[in-house]
Structure 1
Amino acid sequence: MNNFPFLFLGRALEQLRSSLYSDFLTSDGSRRQQQRYCGPFVALSFNFMVSVGIIMANKLVMGKVGFNFPVALSLIHYVSAWFLMAVLRAFSLLPASPPSKSTPFSSIFLLGVVMSFSTGLANASLKYNSVGFYQMAKIAVTPTIALSELILFRKRMTLCKVIALVVVSIGVAVATVTDLEFNLFGACIALAWIAPSAVNKILWSNLQQTGNWTALALMWKTTPITIFFFMALMPLLDPPGLVSFNWNFSNSVVIFFSALLGFLLQWSGALALGATSATSHVVLGQFKTCVIMIAGYLFFNSDPGIISLCGAILALSGMTYYTYLNLKASQDPVAATKQLVKQNSSSQKIKSAIDGKECEGNLIMDPFLEDDLKETA
């Protein structure tokens, strides 16, 4: 009888350990916890705040510090992120990954590659193009995502959403495109950036929503691949002089503070893509641009012009309507169930076709076709 309290305590501790293991150290449990504590509103708000913070940090790095190596800065961001995740993994705080058989390695590899090209080309585009041309390229990402999801995942968009996105694109164009300066090399980089940017967002969203991946687990798998391709892109897109840069203490602190925000930006962006969709994430970026413009006019005496302000207000109106349509759709379980059944049926047909080819000994697989095995809304 004297041992009864200790037996009860031991059983309670064992149940707690089992619960923590189920909730955190398994892919299903980790995914449920991410969905529970990081819904669409929290994820998008987190991403918005970090995005504004890293804009200020990168302006400090590029301006005051004079570190004009955009691809190298992205490389430092991703190396720092990998190091921080390695620390979390050492303390068993990194969420578990799904079984390797559930997601083809080609999908992970493709995501790592397009992530490096998306980030590297975006920074190079901002360097070689005017802000207006850069914004035009960003606007082109939205229809590219819609077309890619239609081709790859048979995902259709309602007419009302299409109208809302057209209004958003027109508003952002009027608000931001004020200095269209054409540069042939910069234009080529901008055009080359559009497709990787769209595919990057689509894959992040799909793999999380269909493969039980959490944001951190997927980042842990893809970051080494991204770092490798950043190292290949750096000599091509960055100017010389990185080694001779003045790496004093104050400059290094600012750069690595930017790297910390870069890790948070990558994590928050992955959370937002897992909780919403690729299109919603693009709309969030445009929302950020318009809010910064209007806030500068209201609080910092900047004068973008009445036409730009009207464009920003028009874009915010379109974003509000688009968000309303998404919330309305999420509250309709019947429509969501029909869409999920339709996608799963298509996914099973593709999987059966691939399995049949594998049984015949045909092991050549297209990475985009492999991603179709994990369709999502």
Structure 2
Amino acid sequence: MNVLLLLNGLKGRALEELRSSLYNELRTSEGAKRQQQRFCGPVVAMSFNFMVAVGIILANKLVMGKVGFNFPIFLTFIHYSIAWLLLAFFKALSLLPVSPPSKTTPSSSLFTLGAIMAFASGLANTSLKYNSVGFYQMAKIAVTPTIVLAEFVLFRKTISFKKVLALVVVSAGVSVATVTDLEFNAFGACIAIAWIIPSAINKILWSNLQQQANWTALALMWKTTPITIFFLVALMPWLDPPGLLLFKWDLNNSTAVLISALLGFLLQWSGALALGATSATSHVVLGQFKTCVILVGGYVLLDSDPGFVSLCGAVAALGGMSVYTSLNLKESNESSSKQQNPLPKTKTSENVSEDSTVTNTATNVV
């Protein structure tokens, strides 16, 4: 009996110490970032984002189709408003990770990210309303080269020739897979083109701030969501059709919109985690992977027939995505191994370093 009491006491003490250490880790931005990286690596983050993305597609189809809620900007506004309320609840319970010091990240960067996020999310839902799924996916393909070009211009970041070939195969495969669903709409095409640049910059900023400035996904969402809500309110009169006050807010319709909003919060969170764990380009490739999996899965499980050409395109795109992912994992393993096992200095290099130091000192004295 005494032994059981002793074991229970030790177990309770260990749990309390674990809870205390985890709480202390969340009190600093560096500790919170370490916890996010520990529990949510690239595979977990991208799998989480993939499952939520599929769920919100079904929810938004229900809301905009069966429910008849044809106000995409206001729907996005509801998504971010619910997200902000949930984040405020987390903050009240001291569960929200601490933000990095203000001097490390200019307020202009956070303001820019919040504004661009409003345009990227709002225009995406508007494009999905006015365009076919095929045209929407064709527009998403253009985001990939835009990200590569923007990262080169802003950060001088380059990618290998093998990755370029893999991305070309992915883009060509998705084009072939969705070409049978192309329906042109002049207004929808303008919205899709206007969405490309904000979408690319949004992903780059999310990825860069988390990887370079010790931001966690939730902390960054807390800072930028109010700015996004403000700009969504400004976009509503321009892009949403009239008749919002005439919508019937009964129990079924309100529940469908609420479910879409909760999934929208999870999509934003999972997308931020994926961007923090990988890169902007990888996140775009994940979105195209989702499209191809749905296409092939519908053919295998639901007896849908998209056509032989579309299936070949989807299979080719999945192959390109697999190659691109393997190249990313290989580079990540190589970089981590170099960090863990730095090359020791040779004796010759040490002598050269010492000689150069003596020479420089002598020169300074003279």
CA distance in structure 1 between the partners assigned to 2:144 and 2:338 by the alignment? 22
CA distance in structure 2 between the partners assigned to 1:156 and 1:335 by the alignment? 21
Contact 1:125 / 1:189 at 8 angstroms: preserved in 2? yes
- The equivalent position to 1:217 in structure 2, one of 219, 222, 247, is 219
CA distance in structure 1 between the partners assigned to 2:337 and 2:193 by the alignment? 36
Paired residue type of 1:332: E
CA distance in structure 2 between the partners assigned to 1:317 and 1:336 by the alignment? 29
CA distance in structure 2 between the partners assigned to 1:175 and 1:228 by the alignment? 38
Question: Where does 1:146-157 land on structure 2 (aligned, <5 Å)?
Answer: 146-157=148-159
Structure 2 gap segments, 5+ residues each: 1-9, 340-366
- State the partner residue of 1:144: 146
Are residues 281 and 245 of structure 1, via their aligned partners in 2, closer, same or farther at CA, if it must alter by over 3 Å?
A: same
Paired residue type of 1:48: F
Where 1:297 maps in the other structure, the secondary structure is helix
Structure 1 residues 27-84: Cα deviation after superposition (integer angstroms, max 9, x where no partner)? 1110000000000000000000001111111111111211111111111000000001
- State the partner residue of 2:293: 291
* Cα drift, residue 22 of structure 1: 3.0
Are residues 183 and 37 of structure 1, via their aligned partners in 2, closer, same or farther at CA, if it must alter by over 3 Å?
A: same
Q: Does 1:53 align with 2:33?
A: no
Are residues 191 and 335 of structure 1, via their aligned partners in 2, closer, same or farther at CA, if it must alter by over 3 Å?
A: farther
- State the partner residue of 1:135: 137
- State the partner residue of 1:369: none
Q: Does 1:333 align with 2:335?
A: yes
Question: Where does 1:31-180 land on structure 2 (aligned, <5 Å)?
Answer: 31-180=33-182
Where 1:332 maps in the other structure, the secondary structure is helix
- The equivalent position to 1:231 in structure 2, one of 230, 233, 241, is 233
* Cα drift, residue 283 of structure 1: 0.3
Are residues 37 and 16 of structure 1, via their aligned partners in 2, closer, same or farther at CA, if it must alter by over 3 Å?
A: closer
- State the partner residue of 1:354: none
CA distance in structure 2 between the partners assigned to 1:280 and 1:202 by the alignment? 11
Structure 1 residues 284-334: Cα deviation after superposition (integer angstroms, max 9, x where no partner)? 000000000011111111110000000000000000000010010011127
Structure 1 residues 164-209: Cα deviation after superposition (integer angstroms, max 9, x where no partner)? 0000000000001224333332222111110000000000000000
Where 2:142 maps in the other structure, the secondary structure is helix
CA distance in structure 1 between the partners assigned to 2:217 and 2:316 by the alignment? 33
Out of 162-171 and 118-127, give the one that drifted further. Answer: 118-127
Are residues 179 and 15 of structure 1, via their aligned partners in 2, closer, same or farther at CA, if it must alter by over 3 Å?
A: closer
* Cα drift, residue 335 of structure 1: 9.1
Are residues 179 and 90 of structure 1, via their aligned partners in 2, closer, same or farther at CA, if it must alter by over 3 Å?
A: same
* Cα drift, residue 133 of structure 1: 2.1
* Cα drift, residue 135 of structure 1: 1.5
Where 2:25 maps in the other structure, the secondary structure is helix
Paired residue type of 1:67: F
| Moved segments of 4+, more than 4 Å | 11-18, 334-337
* Cα drift, residue 14 of structure 1: 9.5
- State the partner residue of 1:304: 306
CA distance in structure 2 between the partners assigned to 1:13 and 1:251 by the alignment? 44
Contact 1:330 / 1:336 at 8 angstroms: preserved in 2? no
Number of matched pairs: 330
Are residues 327 and 334 of structure 1, via their aligned partners in 2, closer, same or farther at CA, if it must alter by over 3 Å?
A: closer
Are residues 311 and 16 of structure 1, via their aligned partners in 2, closer, same or farther at CA, if it must alter by over 3 Å?
A: closer
Out of 80-89 and 186-195, give the one that drifted further. Answer: 186-195
- State the partner residue of 1:197: 199
What is the TM-score normalised by the length of structure 1? Answer: 0.84
Out of 123-132 and 49-58, give the one that drifted further. Answer: 123-132
Paired residue type of 1:217: A
Are residues 248 and 335 of structure 1, via their aligned partners in 2, closer, same or farther at CA, if it must alter by over 3 Å?
A: same
Paired residue type of 2:300: L
RMSD: 2.0
What is the TM-score normalised by the length of structure 2? Answer: 0.86
Structure with larger Rg: 2
- State the partner residue of 1:278: 280
- State the partner residue of 2:317: 315
Are residues 12 and 319 of structure 1, via their aligned partners in 2, closer, same or farther at CA, if it must alter by over 3 Å?
A: closer
* Cα drift, residue 267 of structure 1: 0.3
Where 2:95 maps in the other structure, the secondary structure is coil
Percent identical: 72
* Cα drift, residue 233 of structure 1: 0.7
Contact 1:329 / 1:335 at 8 angstroms: preserved in 2? no
